[in-house]
């Protein structure tokens, strides 16, 4: 497991379960995305991963990095893609008056939040929802959706998973 946050709780949990871990803090790299991504690739390469799962990874990967790991990178995004790519998804859904919100797992391509969708989970937006409350509710769906998609993807089954919560 590799994180761009050296203090990520998942690193300790993974290590306790015997999973190799590493951290590459993006901050010292500043705007040098190529050097940051090279360091990540250096950590990943010896393991020859079949799947690279992004979760809470708030960095945009370069086309070069994506090309090296093409077809192996998955990301979970807190909107029902193709709606609301990028940031502030919950506030945007509420402001637009959407009836539903949710999350999507997609294969990563060089274009932001634009790869093939492998799964979506949705729920109704409640009248009292704030961006924060909606975010928490969608996060619970993310924790159901990502494992379900990963189970299929690991079997080379690319049929989308759909969950209503």
Domains and their CATH numbers in the chain: 1-48 (no CATH), 50-164 (3.40.50.170)
Instruction: Report the chain's mean pLDDT, rounded to a whole number.
Output: 96
Res 56: pLDDT? 86
DSSP state of 50: S
154-157 — which CB contacts under 8 Å span 24+ positions? 154/50, 154/51
Helix ranges (H only) for the chain are: 9-16, 33-44, 63-68, 89-96, 131-154
pTM of the model: 0.94
Predicted confidence (pLDDT) at residue 58 exceeds the cutoff of 90: no
Q: Which residue in the list 26, 77, 90, 106 is annotated as catalytic?
A: 77
Quickly count: other Cβ atoms within 10 Å of residue 94's Cβ: 17
User: Would you say residue 141 has pLDDT above 90?
Assistant: yes
For 126-141, what is the mean pLDDT? 99
Our answer to whether residue 77 is catalytic in this structure is yes
Question: Helix crossing, 89-96 with 131-154: angle to 10°?
Answer: 120
Query: What is the predicted pLDDT for the residue at 165?
Result: 86
151 has pLDDT over 90 = yes
Token pair in block for residue 116: 């093939």
**pLDDT tens, position by position, 88-116:** 999 999 999 999 999 999 999 999 999 99
- Distance separating alpha carbons of residues 76 and 93, to the nearest angstrom: 17
What pLDDT does 96 receive?
98
């Amino acid at each position: 497991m590799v994180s761009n946050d050296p203090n990520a709780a998942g690193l300790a949990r993974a290590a306790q379960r015997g999973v190799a871990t590493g951290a590459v803090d993006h901050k010292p790299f500043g705007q040098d995305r190529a050097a940051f991504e090279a360091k990540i690739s250096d950590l990943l390469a010896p393991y020859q991963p079949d799947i690279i799962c992004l979760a809470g990874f708030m960095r945009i990967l370069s086309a070069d990095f994506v090309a090296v790991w093409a077809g192996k990178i998955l990301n979970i995004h807190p909107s029902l893609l193709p709606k609301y790519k990028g940031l502030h998804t919950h506030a945007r859904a509420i402001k637009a008056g959407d009836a539903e919100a949710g999350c999507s797992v997609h294969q990563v391509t060089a274009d932001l939040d634009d790869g093939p969708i492998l799964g979506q989970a949705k729920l109704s937006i409640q009248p009292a929802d704030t961006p924060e409350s909606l975010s928490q509710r969608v996060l619970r769906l993310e924790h159901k959706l990502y494992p379900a998609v990963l189970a299929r993807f690991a079997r080379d089954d690319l049929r989308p998973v759909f969950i209503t919560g």
